[in-house]
A and B are shown apart, each in its own frame.
Chain A
Amino acid sequence: MGNVYLITGASSDVGCALIRRLYQPGDLFLAQGAGDLSGLAPLVKEFPGAIHTFDVDLTDPAATDLFIEQVGRIAAPTHLVHLPALRVVNTKFKKFDEERFERDMSVQVRSAVKLCKAFVPAMAKAKRGRVLFMLTSYLLGLPPKNTAAYIMAKSALHGLAKSLAADYAGTGVTVNCVMPSMMETKFLADTSNLIVEASAQANPMGRNARVEDVVPAMAFLLGEEAGFITGVSLPITGGSAL
């Protein structure tokens, strides 16, 4: 029996690259995206029968519950990878958009709570499981200005990861995070070029993170050999934040 990977935000550049990196014959991928799942189409073709796609709006609690029920009927996930976030918008705090923040909290945090509650206890029972969250190097040291909503949502997710790591450390389930610095993907569509270029220039390695810098670290933390590593948040920053 292969692994069953439940990946949320799977249609992202990172999600698609991760599936390609992890795939072994016999594995099953339950891949959630919202709206545009076109990134997954080539993978579905490449790995016939191995990838089930789900178009689910994680801001909708009822849709999220239904998604969890559907996943449960297909297979019990052995691996849960949670990637989704609303795009970062640089906003002065006086213009803080509370409604958007609520949506971001639903996409990033509430959905993670629901998914972990639904699937981590079964992983613990099976004495085997991996949970991995996408965080950000913005949580290391002084955060950049004007990103309060993003920082708060990621901090909450960080808290969930640490708590789950503590709760499940004795069960064979590990819970870890990656903290990449600014990564050049379609996630940056709403970020000014100036910010992207300035970030690359400020990085000691002279560039921003790439998908191929981050995915191997994720694959490692999801692998069998990382079984003694839990509660870790791994910076992948080229030295820009430590």
Chain B
Amino acid sequence: MDEKTILAAVQDIFRDNFDDEELVITRETCADDIEDWDSLEQINLLTAIEKKFGLKFQLADVRGLANVGDLLDLIARMTA
């Protein structure tokens, strides 16, 4: 799956999760940019991503994620 497709799907998940249809994310977007993005929302985002892409994350996989770019790379690796 190419990065553009992954980004589009992840953006839909972010929009749904944070209840903001206008939300635009980039590789650089991080938790500091979205007010409600706390550790619980992080898990909600990740579980929605698991469902969407048919993945199973372990805590160790997701602990070091610093921004959306890291997340996209992780999804790309796991769906490759």
Listed in ascending order, the chain A residues whose CB lies under 8 Å from chain B are 90, 92, 94, 144-146, 192-195, 197-198, 201
- 7 pairs, A vs B, C-beta closer than 8 Å: A92-B17, A92-B19, A193-B56, A193-B58, A194-B47, A194-B62, A198-B39
Q: Which B residues lie within 8 Å of A193 (CB)?
A: 56-59
Query: Do B59 and A144 touch across chains, with their CB atoms under 8 A apart?
Result: no
The CA-CA distance from A145 to B40 in the complex, in Å, is 8
Find out whether the CB atom of B50 lies under 8 angstroms from the CB atom of A192: yes
On whether the beta carbons of B59 and A194 are closer than 8 Å, the reply is yes
Residues of A within 8 Å of B59, CB to CB, are 193-194, 197-198, 201
> Could you say which residues of chain B place their CB within 8 Å of the CB of A192?
43, 46-47, 50, 57
Q: Which of B23-80 contact A (CB under 8 A)?
A: 39-40, 43-44, 46-47, 50, 56-59, 62
A146 to B59, CA, bound (A): 20
How far does the Cβ of B43 sit from chain A's closest Cβ, in whole Å? 5
Q: For the complex, what is the distance from the CA of A192 to the CA of B54, rounded to whole Å?
A: 12
Known: A90-B44, A194-B62. 14 other contacts (CB 8 A): A90-B47, A92-B19, A94-B19, A144-B40, A146-B44, A192-B43, A192-B47, A192-B50, A193-B56, A193-B57, A193-B58, A194-B57, A194-B59, A198-B39
